[in-house]
Amino acid sequence: VEGRFSPVRCLAPRCTVEVARDHAADMSACIGSAGGGPCALLCDPGYRMSRMNKPLLSTRGKPAPALVCNEVGRFEGPHCDEARCASTPAALSLVAADDIAGCVGMEDGQACDFQCSSGLRRVGTLTCRRGEWQTGDV
């Protein structure tokens, strides 16, 4: 329009590449997010969001909820990793509590080494699998 100026702005590119993370819910709704825009990451059961070396920041300087569309139009952020075993194994009644306390927080695939209470014999193994304790025979 003659005699009027349009507002001038600088816009970050939109994230147009489909974002996908193994062991996560569908994230196709994130396509088209503006630069600095967030995309929620929902990990499947038995998986947790990976830790980042430094927190990602959204355009307003607040911690990002998960993935963020960066300045070149690509999503960056965490992935979904196997969950740790956050609780004590159910076999607690068979072992001394101080022997099994070290098993809390073990990573996927790690075995819980424990000693049975006096008079009991250990049979089998306890292994952390995606946040849950699984038993196996020796």
pLDDT, residue 110, reads: 92
The β-bridge relationship of strands 132-136 and 125-129 is antiparallel
pLDDT, residue 108, reads: 92
pLDDT, residue 52, reads: 58
Q: Are 109 and 130 in contact (CB under 8 A)?
A: no
pLDDT, residue 26, reads: 87
Q: Are 76 and 87 in contact (CB under 8 A)?
A: no
pLDDT, residue 93, reads: 53
In this structure, what DSSP letter does residue 116 have? B
Return d(Cα 70, Cα 78) in angstroms, integer.
13
pLDDT, residue 59, reads: 47
What are residue 63's DSSP bridge partners?
57
Question: Chunked in runs of 10, what are the mean pLDDT values of the chain (138 residues)?
Answer: 71 77 87 81 88 51 66 85 84 59 88 79 84 79
Return d(Cα 58, Cα 108) in angstroms, integer.
31
Closest Cα partner for 128 from 13, 114, 115?
Answer: 114
In this structure, what DSSP letter does residue 23 have? T
